[in-house]
Amino acid sequence: MIRIHFIVNPIAGHGNASLTKEELQPYFIKGVHELTIKVSEYKAHATELTEASILEKADIIVACGGDGTINEVATCLIGKNIALGIVPMGSGNGLASNLKIPKKRRKALEIIRDKHKEHIDVGSINGRYFFSNTGVGFDARLIKHYESSEKRTLLGYISACVTTFRDIKKNTPLSIGIDGEAPMINPFIVLVSNSNEMGYKLSLTPKASLQDGMLDVLVIKKINRLKMLWLGILIIIRKVHWLKESKSFQTTNVQLTRNHADFFDTQVDGEHNRIDTNQLTISILEKSLCVLTAK
C-alpha cells in the first residue's frame, strides 16, 4: 500500500482552496493507494501535520497550497526518503512552475500518481530553509506590504510594489557587507535564488537551477526612482542584467552583515521573516529534497 498524505491550506490563493477524497479517488487505485487529507488551520500548522505524517509512515506527502505551504511541508522532508508532491493552489506558485508542475489540478495529481522522482537543492538562511529564494532589501519590504494586503493576487502584488516604492525614504538605513567586499549603503536588492522563478512567471535570476548545487545571487546597488521603474520593465522581460547597477554571481555560501542594527527583515520563499541577528549565513544543501515532477 502506498500511503499518500495531502496537506491542504484552505486559504491559499484567493482563499477558496479545498480538496476532497471524492475529487482525488479517480486518479488513484483503490487497494494500492491509501489517501489521507489533512487541513492546515494556522501558520506553521502544515509543518506539524507533516511531522505527524512522517510518524504515520507516509510514503508521499503532498503540499496543497502556495510557496509558503510548500516551504512548511518540504522543510520536514529534507534528507528523508519521503517524496514531496505539489498541488499548486497559491497565487504565485513559483516553485511549482519551476518544477513544471501545472496549476491544472488534474495534471498535478497525475504527476503524483506516476511517482517520477527528482532530487533538488535546498537553500538555508541561518538554519531556516528556502526552496525558491530569499532576500533582503526591496523584495523583503515588498513582501511585508503584500502580506498585509487583502488582495493575494498579481494586482495586490503590484499595489504592494507601489506602496514599497512610496515608503522607501522611511526605511531604516542599511549597510551590508557581502563576503568581505566593501560595505554597500542601502542596497536596493540582495536576492539569493535556488530556483529561476519568483512566482507569477517573474524572475530576477532566470539562469538559476534547482539541481546545479549553486546559489544565484543578484545584488542591485542603490538606485533612483526612475531606474526603479526601468528595473520593473527589465524584470518583466527577464533582462535585469541590462541594469548597470546590478551584479550577478554564483556561489555556495553568502555572508551578509549589517552595521548599526541587530536584525534583518528578510523574505523567505515569499513570506516575510524577521531574523534577530546582524549576520546572515546563506548556503546550499545539494540535492537534499526528493520531489515528484513530470517526466
CATH number at residue 222: 2.60.200.40
End residue of a domain, out of 64, 87, 115: 115
In a domain, 120, yes or no: no
Q: What average pLDDT does range 212-220 have in this prediction?
A: 94
Show Cβ contacts of residue 10 under 8 Å, excluding neighbours closer than 6 positions.
16, 17, 18, 39, 40
In a domain, 123, yes or no: no
Quick check: 84 pLDDT over 60? yes
In a domain, 122, yes or no: no
In a domain, 293, yes or no: no
Alpha helices of the chain — where are they, by DSSP H? 21-24, 45-55, 67-74, 94-98, 105-114, 138-147, 154-166, 225-236
Quick check: 40 pLDDT over 80? yes
End residue of a domain, out of 93, 115, 137: 115
CA distances from 66 to 4, 51, 157, 196 (A): 19, 19, 15, 16
Place 52 in a pLDDT band, splitting at 50, 70 and 90: very high
Place 140 in a pLDDT band, splitting at 50, 70 and 90: confident
In a domain, 55, yes or no: yes
User: Domain limits at 275?
Assistant: 128-286
More confident of the two residues 88 and 148:
88
* CB-CB contact of 200 with 92 (8 Å): yes
Is there a single domain that holds both residue 144 and residue 277?
yes
Is there a single domain that holds both residue 94 and residue 155?
no
User: What local confidence, expressed as pLDDT, does residue 187 receive?
Assistant: 83
In a domain, 82, yes or no: yes
In a domain, 234, yes or no: yes
User: What local confidence, expressed as pLDDT, does residue 99 receive?
Assistant: 94
End residue of a domain, out of 61, 85, 115: 115
Is there a single domain that holds both residue 44 and residue 149?
no
Is there a single domain that holds both residue 100 and residue 158?
no
Within 13 Å, how many C-alpha atoms sit on residue 295's CB side?
A: 5
- In 3D space, the residue among 152, 136, 140, 137 whose CA is nearest the CA of residue 93 turns out to be 152
Is there a single domain that holds both residue 68 and residue 170?
no
Is there a single domain that holds both residue 100 and residue 165?
no
Is there a single domain that holds both residue 27 and residue 103?
yes
Is there a single domain that holds both residue 59 and residue 160?
no
The CATH number covering residue 70 comes to 3.40.50.10330
**Number of domains composing the chain:** 2
Residues 177, 122: Cα–Cα separation, whole Å: 23
- In 3D space, the residue among 213, 193, 215 whose CA is nearest the CA of residue 203 turns out to be 193
Is there a single domain that holds both residue 111 and residue 145?
no
Q: What average pLDDT does range 135-150 have in this prediction?
A: 79
Q: What average pLDDT does range 250-275 have in this prediction?
A: 88
Q: What average pLDDT does range 89-118 have in this prediction?
A: 92
Is there a single domain that holds both residue 98 and residue 148?
no
Is there a single domain that holds both residue 69 and residue 209?
no
CA 69 from centre of chain: 9
Is there a single domain that holds both residue 39 and residue 11?
yes
In a domain, 246, yes or no: yes
